[in-house]
Amino acid sequence: MTLPASSTAALDTAVATEHREMLRALTGDPKRLATKWLYDARGSELYTAIAQQPEYYLDEAEWEIVARHGADIAARTRARTLVDLGAGSGRKTRLLLDTLCAEGCLEQYVPVDISDAALRGTERALRADYARLAIHPRVADFTTTPLGLTPGDAPVLLTLFGATYGNFRPDEGRGLLATLRAQLRPGDGLLLGTDLVKDEAVLTAAYDDRAGVTAAFAKNGLTVLNRKLGANFRLGDFDHDVTWNPRRRRIENALRARRSHTVTLAALGRVVSFAAGERLYVGISTKFSQEGVRSELEAAGLRLDRWWTDSADRYAVSLASVAEGPEPP
Asked if the structure places residue 217 within a domain, the reply is yes
CA atoms within 13 A on the CB side of 99: 19
**pLDDT value of position 189:** 97
Three-class SS state of 137 = coil
What total number of domains does the chain contain?
2
Q: CA separation (Å) from 216 to 148, 194, 328?
A: 35, 24, 41
Q: How many other CB atoms sit within 10 Å of the CB of residue 70?
A: 20
Q: Is 38 a domain residue?
A: yes
- 139 in a structural domain: yes
| 304 shares a domain with 213 | no
The pLDDT, as a whole number, for residue 325 is 55
Residues 27 and 131 grouped into a single domain: no
171 with 152, same domain: the answer is yes
Residue 50 counted as domain residue = no
Cα 257 to Cα 298: distance, rounded to the nearest angstrom = 40
Q: Examine the domain organization and report whether 161 and 116 are in the same domain.
A: yes
Same domain, 159 and 264: no
Same domain? 292 vs 282: no
User: For residue 98, what is the domain's CATH number?
Assistant: 3.40.50.150
Same domain, residue pair 63 and 118:
yes
Residue 162 lies in a domain: yes
Which DSSP category does 113 fall into? E
- Same-domain check for residues 168 and 254: no
Residue 213 CB partners (closer than 8 Å, separation 6+): 46, 49, 50, 53
The pLDDT score that the predictor gives to residue 323 is 81
pLDDT at residue number 41:
85
In a shared domain, residues 215 and 265 = yes
3-state secondary structure of 229: helix
C-alpha triplet 129, 308, 163: angle, nearest 5°: 70
- Give pLDDT, residue 78: 97
Which residues touch 278 (CB under 8 Å, ≥6 apart)?
A: 30, 31, 256, 257
* Residue 6 included in any domain: no
Residue 161 structural domain: 58-196+288-322
Quote the distance between the C-alpha of residue 290 and its chain's center: 20
Q: Do 132 and 256 share a domain, yes or no?
A: no
Q: Residues 120, 173: one domain? A: yes
The pLDDT value given to residue 18: 84
Sign, CA torsion 214/215/218/223: negative
* pLDDT one digit per residue (tens) for the chain, 329 residues: 765 554 555 556 778 888 998 999 999 999 998 888 888 889 988 988 998 999 999 999 999 999 999 999 999 999 999 999 988 667 788 999 999 999 999 999 999 988 787 788 778 888 889 989 999 999 888 988 899 999 999 999 999 998 999 999 999 999 999 999 999 999 999 999 999 999 999 999 999 999 999 999 999 999 999 999 999 999 999 999 999 999 999 999 999 999 999 999 999 999 999 999 999 999 999 999 999 999 999 999 999 999 999 999 999 999 999 987 555 44
pLDDT of amino acid 144: 85
Q: Are 68 and 152 part of one and the same domain? A: yes
151 CB burial (10 A radius; 0-12, 13-18, 19+): exposed
